[in-house]
Structure 1
């Protein structure tokens, strides 16, 4: 009973806590203007140019915390508040997304692996539960096992995402510190924003791994009951 309680606490509470943490931290530092006065767009453009990535565009994008790097179009897209704003949070997020662009340029191995896993991970996310449920209802071990395989692919994607995100944040801090875009006394706030964002990926990977483990144990139990 205690084990199931811990499992459900992690499954339900951890993602909610991580999401609240990133939103509260971002909200706090999005209200603090950086001393440089640079917008997120200017931060991104400057770092890109310094790293020989003049071909990468920087565009505004609708939505809160919708910032991302699109490797297909070679575009850094920043949420409008970060694109036009002058905050410490905006500078940190912009530098983080540029970190992904630098990874792409350098052929960073975990990023390449993550890109290769995207189609498989999408299939796994969409069909794993369907196959597992069908396997349970029909007592079909083969369907259940196939669902676990698909789920495992999605979990691997989540795990590979971790070094990609942590590395991009590390690159971001190096860039904004070295160029003076963020003063030394502002770096703590920028780091807090990036660390809070990283927590959401850690939480997602942990939950996905626990879900996979639960279904693996159920599959083993199903097979044992058939013997």
Structure 2
């Protein structure tokens, strides 16, 4: 069984990554002068600020993501003077970024849209730049319809960030109860990984998953179809 990393080690790693990112923005001509800030939290880079072109954000994400020890790159960045539309699904009482559109079945001060995540999302096709699903999928008996819905609402160049539980001490080939949720509604990691990773690969290839009808009264506006397709980032 893997021993948990101490809080001190996590803090020191974040401080090291912060210094490394500062060096990148100071000396790399591809990043120098960009109005971006980055902070690290448990190995995840959080980019905020504003850029003039989408390519600048893509470059920053790529270079920061190459740093050894970075688990993922999350962002809320204005591009070309436009604020991003970011859906925070199942946000509960805490959004990943202020300004995200909080979506949850229960009402809190952070929830902007009340919706059941097990059904169709009340948003238009290709309207969202980013979608956050942080510790959400393991609470659903069948999470694939939600993955389909996320694929539908993301813009062609959008990204979905997924954080899912990893069961400590469980063998990867464990089969017992692989298809059933426990008494708290949590899906075993074996089933979660078996279905989610192929789904993520399908999004990267641009393959369509099951599509839900757009319907009426959905938020946002379509951006049109075309390459590249949305990407799903998995963090376990």
- Give the TM bin, normalised by the shorter chain: under 0.3
Q: Considering fraction of residues, name the structure with more helix.
A: 1
Q: Considering fraction of residues, name the structure with more strand.
A: 2
Structure possessing the higher relative contact order (Cα contacts under 8 Å, 6 or more residues apart): 1
With normalisation by structure 2, the TM-score equals: 0.26
With normalisation by structure 1, the TM-score equals: 0.27
